[in-house]
Chain A
Amino acid sequence: MYSITASGLVVTYATSGIFNFAHGALGMLGAFTYWQLTVAWHVPPLAALALVLLVVAPLLGAVVERVLIRRLYGASLSVTLVVTVGLLLALIGVANLIWSPVTPRVLKPFFPNSLIHLPGVNVSAHQAIVVLVSLLVAVALRVFLARTRTGATMRAVVDDPGLVALTGTSPARASQLSWALGSSLAALAGILLAPLVTLSILTLTLLVINGYAAAVVGRLRSLPLTAVGGLALGLAESYSTGYLGGDLPNLLRPALPMFLLFVAVVFLRDTRLRAGGRIVGWSPRAVGLGESVRWSSLLLVVALLAAALAPGGLVDFLSSTLAIGFVLLSLVLLSGYAGQVSLCQLTFVGVGAYVMAKVAPGGSAFGILVVVPVCALLGVAVAVPVLRLRGLYLALATLAFASGMDTIFFLNAFGTGGAITVPRLSVPGVDSNRGYLILLTLAFAAGAVGLLSLRRSRVGRRMSALNDSPAACVTLGVGVNRTKLGVFAGAAAMSGLGGVLLGGQEGLVSGNDFQMLNSLVLLLILTIGGASTVSGALLGAVLFSAFPIIAEHVSFLSQASLLLTGLGAVSIGRNPYGIVGEASRRFAAARQAGRGALASVVIRPSPLRDGVL
């Protein structure tokens, strides 16, 4: 089962060079479409199967490739990651709209009543089918990719799409085919998986994500190794149920795939440094100290006014926004400046809030002295084993960490659906919501000014150099890993601090608030705002906290929030700098044009342009 998921993933990666985070969602969508056809519309299973696997899923994959992926060739990892993660959320959003999550649905296994007797064990027919199909898929794919001309073309596209065109075949069609195939395989996995678990949008998506571990075992390239990985994963899961007694396995089992993913990533050997970056031609200018202090002061004045005059609801809104904004600042540091992708930032926020609640229930400021090092160390612990790897594997490791923490830590530390009270920092003179707003504003302003100063400093230059060309950094004697580690630890510590601030604002926080999926949302929302600018973080935070409020009044939106977030992120495939970046670029361009300067020519490489070239 895992091997089907994983092989679909490997096919799309090997043939488009893009790791499809939305693979899980494609599988989920396949299973739901199948349910819709067989259960709701009474289409015979075989016909439904054919329809889903041969028509709907491939079509979806092809459309996704055409609309989104084709623009991403050659784009940076963070852009491809954000776009596919955005797609993941958008697809979940679509599914939520069509199939209300509240209604329970059941998908029956194939041949529900027959058992197959093998020496020693009884296997249900469904399980036998799963094993058989996954073997078949593995063999068929291997033959297809290795032997046929179409297979060779699909692999060639990753190497050099331009050269493929020169040999007389359309590279676009080949990659479209591979996405259709990948999508179909995801749907197959979803349909086979659904009867074994509940047919729920999230469960299914996340389960298919577990297959990522198997794909990483195969290094995202090798199909046989991927099959082995899938098998190992399945066996490990069932053995842990069979042979380990007590509560421990129940606790750990859900985290097993992610654990395997982490281990597989750690054991990867991939130390080649990327040389040379793409020219983006324009980047947000580093704001000077004076300017950042001026804007921060303005923000503070606004906050003071709001604290004095605004109604309580607005004060709360602004406070949440600023607290989220502080967390987003840590992501600006990590993704925007250093170009590292983290999918676990909310995990640090959660840990920060939790530690604060435990060590300083009274809200003593000394709690911070514990939270910051704890989160920094945790960040280091996540980053150290995987630092030497490329960004994609780093991102996968953070995904594994976030997901593992979901099931192991948050579920238990907070109890299922439970919540803990996080104390508000007790600072002399701050005793009301309004006072806390001022405190949060000060924190955000200090964070923003500090971050911008860091950006202009030696360390900041080192970070952007790292983002640009790790290979060149090494030749200059800049320690790549040391810098990355520092950034990771710093961002984790900042997130932890953000957790303290956010927890203090909300008062009551539940483990659900910090789930992996929400970390993804956070990253996307920052990207929409503008990942490499402080103002982008603020805008992202406004979007993040404004959305639920708008949704309250427009019922359609409450269902569509994930969809819209996903779509928003997907649309930044056009512009890696988000709304703020686009706005200030236009502003700068307009100003230059006003002076009649020819020097304002903006060179942007083809992948970032709108399809042409």
Chain B
Amino acid sequence: MSADADIPALELIDVRAGYGRIEVLHTVDLVVPPGSVVALLGPNGAGKTTTLAVASGRVVPTAGCVHVGGRHVNGLPPEAFVRGGVCSIPEGRGVFANLTVRDNLKLWSHGTSRSLSEIEDMVFARFPRLKERRRQLAGTMSGGEQQMLAVARAVVADAGLLLLDEISMGLAPRIVAELYELVAQLAADGLAILLVEQFAQTALAVADHAAIMTSGVIRAVGDPVDIAAELAAAYLGGVA
């Protein structure tokens, strides 16, 4: 999917999108090169989550093109995006709270060719704590454990592109560090990642590129170091 060296894992061209009659994204252009990590930063309400929703097929853009691995995928349902190699971990806890950990894992086999036992081996090797809890309802685990479970989907999905939305939200710094260790490792394995994060420094530390978004428009794209310098201005300017 993203194997070709020059085809971007994700490309948004002049994308406009929103909810009902309210437009959130006003012509967004964003490229995630193959095998690289892009951090999408910006103040609340900038449209970061909506950008990820467009990239995972949950929101259909009203204009512009969405290319995943070089294929035009506008208007396809989210399931098709998954089959096309997009693994999306949504904001909040991306787990089924009323299902056991095992049932959650069972569902993941939809998107991949792996069997349940294979998935279990991979996940439990990465997060041993989930093994102890595999018969427990996912919703009864701690927030950190739930997020581990959610992010663990990225480990087993045969994805070419991973979309992460604020995986640190409401979690202890120690767990955030643990999750980002995994992100760094996935990136090292060659997975392209688009991540939205409120802790800009955490995100910039793993990112190859960074983009700043305010009011539904990408304001700046560049090297994480340069973007870090522009960040404060962008936030304040965007808010005011």
Contact = CB atoms under 8 A, between A and B. Distances in A.
A301 interface: no
A158 to B, nearest CB: 7
Nearest to B83: A168
A163 B106 contact: no
Nearest to B100: A152
Contacts of B79: 165, 168-170
A156 B94 contact: no
B107 A156 contact: yes
B90 interface: yes
B110 A149 contact: yes
B224 to A, nearest CB: 27
Nearest to B138: A159
Interface in A151-195: 152-153, 155-156, 158-160, 162-170
A149 B109 CA distance: 8
A159 B96 contact: yes
Interface in B59-89: 77-79, 82-83, 88
Contacts of A160: 96
A152 B97 contact: no
B16 interface: no
Contact of B111 (A152, A158, A162, A168): A168
A162 B90 contact: yes
A153 B107 CA distance: 6
B22 interface: yes
A472 B34 CA distance: 47
A601 B78 contact: no
A163 B98 contact: no
A611 to B, nearest CB: 13
B20 interface: yes
B78 A165 contact: yes
B87 to A, nearest CB: 8
Residue of A163, A164, A167, A613 with most chain B CB atoms under a 10 A cut-off: A167
B182 interface: no
Contacts of A152: 99, 103, 106-107
A153 B78 contact: no
Given A165-B79, A167-B108, A168-B82, A159 B20 contact: no
Nearest to B58: A162
A150 to B, nearest CB: 10
B20 A604 contact: yes
Interface in B112-164: 112, 116, 153
A603 interface: yes
B90 A166 contact: yes
Nearest to A598: B21
B217 to A, nearest CB: 20
A59 B96 CA distance: 29
A156 B96 CA distance: 6
A603 B107 contact: no
